[in-house]
Amino acid sequence: MNDIIVGIDLGTTNSAIGVVDSGFPMLLADDGGKRIMPSAVWYGPSGEIEVGHKALRRRPIEGSRVITSVKRLMGRELSVEESESLGGKTAEQVSADILRELKRRAEWRLGKALTKAVITVPAYFHDGQRNATKRAGELAGWEVVRILNEPTAAALSYGLDQLGERSRVAVYDLGGGTFDLSILEMQDGVFQVLSTHGDTQLGGDDLDRVLAEKMIGLAGLEAASVGHDAWIRWRVEAERVKCALSERALETFAMPFFDGVNSFSREVTRVEFSEWIQPWVARTLSCCRRALSDARLESNEIDALVLVGGSSRIPVVRTAVESLFGRVADLSQHPDEAIALGATIQAGVISGAMKHLVLLDVTPLSLGIETLGGLMNVLIPRNTTIPCKAGELFTNAVHEQKAMRVRVLQGEREMARDNWELGIVDIPFKPAAKGQARIGVQLHIDENGILEVLARDVKTGIDQILTIRSSAVDVSDESVEKMVGDSVEHAFSDMAERIFTEAKLKAEELLPAVEQALELGRQWLSAKEIKTIETARAEVCQALLEKEPNSLKAAVQRLDTATEALAAKIVQQAMDEALDRQLSL
Ligand code: ADP
Ligand code: MG
């Protein structure tokens, strides 16, 4: 099993981390059960650091010590004002503190050290910004195995990589501080970005500000005259009301003692709020039209529409985008978790953890070897969990045989020829009488799905090993379905053929033996007994000619029973003679 690789959405407003566990991608929650962590860092006066919700909670009192939206500054020359806002840190260092906190959380959740990560960036990030993100990851102690585009991650989380060649996906991402629309096209199994358009100064924060300013106005105040700390309280309440209005049609905006004396309270309806934010929604739509025209596409040439980013939960946003594209959006994933989930899926594909569940967990088809008469002898049945091993002892069927051929087969059919041959091993052995050589054959599938065939000459202890890579488990779904379907369809004829083959093998062994026994023991038998045996023998020969499986099986059975007493008598006789010989010596 390869190293675990985590997936990280390092967002402007929020970040999240996930991992593939038992084949399922899942985000890792903090000790409070929250999967989403605000991308906020508080730097205390004596070097302490707090990240996430804890950092945000300090904002109303120590606003200047809390850094948010650092992603906007990644990989850029900073203005003096921007530099000062970072309090002597670089954007990479602050991002590294966020990534370090995510690492701590994931290691605590999983109870083991983690080193490898896939980190997402917006499709419009240039090389400098991508490299800065990678360096931030390394500063935090991650080996960054891939920088992944956010819209690609979003599409992966919805399983849109299954859509097929040339499919086009529009990803509308309205987060906390940024907006972008990307059009992807599936080419040779990977998503290519056909076009991306956006506004790095447009997001949920703007909507909070719009609502806060409205309320401040209704409270009879001048927005400009509200002090910094008070302004943060209005904004925090505005965000709460905004989010509530995504679920309800009405919510009360309440600011008790906003100036220490007076309180403010007002009911806000979803309809009102929708109207107030309309200009911002319209701006996102014009970006969508630009992205479409850049890609030279009409909105009806898009095969799937995905909405991500927390702000896409707002009903008026959703309906506006759906009407522009003339289709409903897939809402099966949480919009604010989709990117982290997609990064996690990509990480799982790179590490092999995703494929593990889908293909390598159980054997899709039975594995066995060909035995006498061309029969399939199943050693590991279909749907056995891997790793697993199974073996059987075989013997030579022919006198003075010098080698045995082991054909490794896969499939559900009774006859070897109807199954797939995975490989052949020839095991040489010292010529021996029929049934004297002993060959042990063992099939072993390891956790990576690699099949190893071990064939041992039990007498000499010499092993032959054949390794069959992946084919034992790496079988396409269609061929498994076809094989299983065929085995059901041919169940009766296959079974008849197996019965006939087994009975024929028995008959071929029995007939010469009966011949010999009759010669040796005729004197001990009554005429009636001889008649019974000869009738039974004739019936076996007749059934062999008729190729009638069930009557052959029955005839062989009768012949076996008819000669039982005679065979026992002959054995007894032989032993007596041997004893006599010994006594006379
Ligand atoms: P980013 O990608 O910018 O890091 P997210 O995708 O997590 O951020 O989006 C964060 C934004 O989504 C914030 O502005 C937040 O207020 C907004 N948001 C989250 N939930 C809702 C909701 N239920 N209704 C409206 N807006 C929401
Ligand atoms: Mg985001």
Tell me whether residue 355 is in a domain: no
How large is the average pLDDT for residues 307-324? 97
Strands (E) in 411-523, as ranges, are 420-432, 438-445, 451-457, 462-468
> Which residues, listed in sequence order, are joined to residue 462 by a DSSP beta bridge?
457
Tell me whether residue 208 is in a domain: yes
How large is the average pLDDT for residues 379-390? 80
Least confident of 57-61, 204-208, 291-295: 57-61
Residues 272 and 404 in one domain: no
Tell me whether residue 47 is in a domain: yes
337 CA distance to ligand 1 centroid (A)?
Answer: 10
Residues 476 and 505 in one domain: no
Under the banding of pLDDT at 50, 70 and 90, the label for residue 548 is confident
pLDDT tens profile 398-448: 777 777 788 888 888 888 888 888 888 887 777 777 777 778 888 888 766
Tell me whether residue 172 is in a domain: yes
Q: How far apart are the first and last CA of the chain?
A: 69
Residue 184 has pLDDT above 50, yes or no: yes
How large is the average pLDDT for residues 104-109? 95
How large is the average pLDDT for residues 552-559? 90
Q: How many domains does the chain have?
A: 4
Under the banding of pLDDT at 50, 70 and 90, the label for residue 359 is very low
Residues 147 and 170 in one domain: no
Under the banding of pLDDT at 50, 70 and 90, the label for residue 474 is low
| Residue pointed to by tokens 């010590």 | 65
Domain that holds residue 500: 492-584
Contact 215, 238 (CB under 8 A): yes
Q: What is the CATH number of the domain that holds 396?
A: 2.60.34.10
Residues 397 and 304 in one domain: no
| Alpha carbon distance 386, 402 (integer Å) | 34
pLDDT score at 392: 82
Ligand 1 touching residue 199 (CB < 6 A): no
How large is the average pLDDT for residues 345-356? 81
How large is the average pLDDT for residues 229-257? 95
Tell me whether residue 419 is in a domain: yes
Half-sphere exposure of 214 (CA within 13 A, CB side): 21
Hey, which of 14, 199, 208, 317 would you mutate to test ligand 1's pocket, going by the most ligand atoms within 8 Å of its Cβ? 14
Tell me whether residue 508 is in a domain: yes
pLDDT score at 585: 61
In percent, the amount of the chain with pLDDT more than 90 equals: 48
- The catalytic residues are 9, 71, 150, 173
pLDDT tens profile 262-271: 999 999 999 9
Measuring from atom 12 of ligand 1, which residue has the nearest CA?
310
Tell me whether residue 315 is in a domain: yes
Which residues have a beta carbon within 5 Å of ligand 2, which is an ion?
11, 175
Q: Which of 66, 55, 170, 75 is nearest to 121 (CA)?
A: 75
Residues 135 and 281 in one domain: no
The H-or-E segment that residue 146 falls in is strand 143-149
297 CA distance to ligand 2 centroid (A)?
Answer: 25
Hey, which of 277, 311, 319 would you mutate to test ligand 1's pocket, going by the most ligand atoms within 8 Å of its Cβ? 311
Ligand 1 touching residue 243 (CB < 6 A): yes
Tell me whether residue 83 is in a domain: no
| Alpha carbon distance 517, 549 (integer Å) | 26
| Alpha carbon distance 58, 238 (integer Å) | 18
What are the φ and ψ backbone dihedral angles of 201, each rounded to 5 degrees? -120, 35
Residues 499 and 572 in one domain: yes
Higher pLDDT, residue 421 or 71 = 71
Measuring from atom 11 of ligand 1, which residue has the nearest CA?
176
**What residues contact residue 429 under an 8 Å CB cut-off, 6+ apart?**
396, 401, 402, 403, 404, 437, 439, 457, 459, 460
Measuring from atom 19 of ligand 1, which residue has the nearest CA?
310
Ligand 1 touching residue 177 (CB < 6 A): yes
Under the banding of pLDDT at 50, 70 and 90, the label for residue 488 is confident
Q: What is the CATH number of the domain that holds 111?
A: 3.30.420.40
pLDDT, mean over the chain? 88
Question: Parallel, antiparallel, or unpaired for β 451-457 and 438-445?
Answer: antiparallel
Under the banding of pLDDT at 50, 70 and 90, the label for residue 31 is confident
Residues 45 and 93 in one domain: yes
Q: Which of 37, 71, 32, 70 is nearest to 55 (CA)?
A: 37
Ligand 1 touching residue 204 (CB < 6 A): yes
Q: Of 472, 489, 506, which residue sits at a domain end?
A: 489
Residues 62 and 150 in one domain: yes
Residues 368 and 511 in one domain: no
pLDDT score at 469: 62
Residues 210 and 118 in one domain: no
How large is the average pLDDT for residues 520-533? 84
Ligand 1 touching residue 419 (CB < 6 A): no
- Left if phi > 0, otherwise alpha if psi is -120 to 50, otherwise beta: which for 98? alpha
pLDDT score at 498: 84
205 CA distance to ligand 1 centroid (A)?
Answer: 8
Residues 178 and 314 in one domain: yes
pLDDT score at 210: 97
In percent, the amount of the chain with pLDDT more than 70 equals: 96
Hey, which of 243, 245, 314 would you mutate to test ligand 1's pocket, going by the most ligand atoms within 8 Å of its Cβ? 243
Q: Of 489, 518, 543, which residue sits at a domain end?
A: 489
pLDDT score at 360: 38
Give helix 91-110 / helix 127-139 axis angle, nearest 10°: 50
Higher pLDDT, residue 317 or 420 = 317
Ligand 1 touching residue 309 (CB < 6 A): yes
Residues 434 and 547 in one domain: no
| Alpha carbon distance 387, 308 (integer Å) | 40
Identity of the highest mean pLDDT range in 243-257, 358-372, 398-412, 550-564: 243-257
Ligand 1 touching residue 11 (CB < 6 A): yes
How large is the average pLDDT for residues 536-559? 89
Residue 356 has pLDDT above 80, yes or no: no
